[in-house]
Structure 1
Amino acid sequence: MSKQQREITLRFLAEPSDVNFGGKVHGGAAMKWIDLAAYACAAGWSGKYCITAYAGGIRFVSPIHVGNLVEVSAKVIYTGSSSMHIAIDVQASDPKELSNRLTTHCIVIMVAVDELGNPTPVPEWIPTEPHDIELRDSAIKLMNMRKQIGEEMQAHVKYLKP
């Protein structure tokens, strides 16, 4: 396999078809861009087909306007046996100014799968820089918090069944 690619940045132009009734890019368009970047990053790291297992902590910080240049940056911050935790930042700028501002950020977990759709191993990422160690540790904390939330949500599931 070739060298793993840990980071990727995709660039888009916010188009009129991406606009909501309020005149700004709708969250669904941003979420689509996030999923595309997460997939490209995970596939670049693992060299395998990947599926989205989780997208969480999505924060819409500021609006994206039609005509903005949008940059979606994705970076592997933790690897499990078959999963990759991807940190995503979405930034936008007026093409006349080219001064990026954060619009959205989140964590996406991608899982590498084989031809039958079963999870398959991914290369381990071992951080060496202090900032990367901090990102990995944060991903582990968030993973533990999601487990607790999942356990709490089980109480709701039994009441929702007909």
Structure 2
Amino acid sequence: METSYKSVESSNIIISELMLPSHTNFSGKIHGGYILSLLDQIAFACASKFSGHYCVTASVDTVDFLAPIEVGELVTMKASVNYTGKTSMIIGIRVEAENIQTGKVKHCNSSYFTMVAKDSNGNNTAVPGLILKTDNDVRRFYNCIKMISNKKEKQNHEETFDYKSEEAINNLSQYHVKVER
């Protein structure tokens, strides 16, 4: 089977939504859970558009809340495929909020979702390869390779680390914890 390729720009999705009082948390800011829901929606749309298949969220790799979002601000989310594997894609999402009265825009969130393409039977299916046209495309692709490597390293560390050893228990004294076993 011959691999097809698509450009990063062919995956681009932009959505904007006005933040309403019904989206707030108890402190009057836009609820992070609401933003997470929107992030998942745009990641799905981006991955499905790029792959041509129904896609599911395999993992939410990074969600960095950088600035609070206020009621009345226009939130714009920009998503693109930053990395492709055989059946998976890493979607990068940038969230900006604009005060529609002053025009001031702030970067509020950066997120990375791993999405997997599914065929009509629910099995993983191949996705197109990625054409990297710009320095930004290459930078983002390499950042994803590093992210995947760090994720694997962390999983391997968790599998082999002996948290019950005397050394591990004694090492906890440097943290704000009390061990009672």
TM-score (normalizing by structure 2): 0.80
1:38 deviates by: 0.5
Structure index of larger Rg: 2
Paired position in structure 2 for 1:29: 34
1:78 deviates by: 0.7
Q: Percent identity?
A: 35
Given candidates 3, 9, 29, the residue that maps to 2:14 is 9
Paired position in structure 1 for 2:56: 51
Ranges in structure 2 where 5+ consecutive residues have no aligned partner: 1-5, 165-181
Paired position in structure 1 for 2:125: 120
Letter in 2 for 1:136: F
1:155 deviates by: 6.2
Given candidates 63, 67, 83, the residue that maps to 1:62 is 67
Once superposed, what is the RMSD of the aligned Cα atoms? Answer: 1.9
TM-score (normalizing by structure 1): 0.89
Whole-Å separation in 1 of the counterparts to 2:158 and 2:19: 36
**SS where residue 59 of structure 1 aligns?**
strand
Judge which range, 3-12 or 86-95, deviates more: 3-12
Letter in 2 for 1:68: E
Paired position in structure 2 for 1:145: 150
Runs of 4+ deviating beyond 4 Å: none
Given candidates 86, 110, 116, the residue that maps to 1:111 is 116
Ranges in structure 1 where 5+ consecutive residues have no aligned partner: none
Whole-Å separation in 2 of the counterparts to 1:32 and 1:154: 31
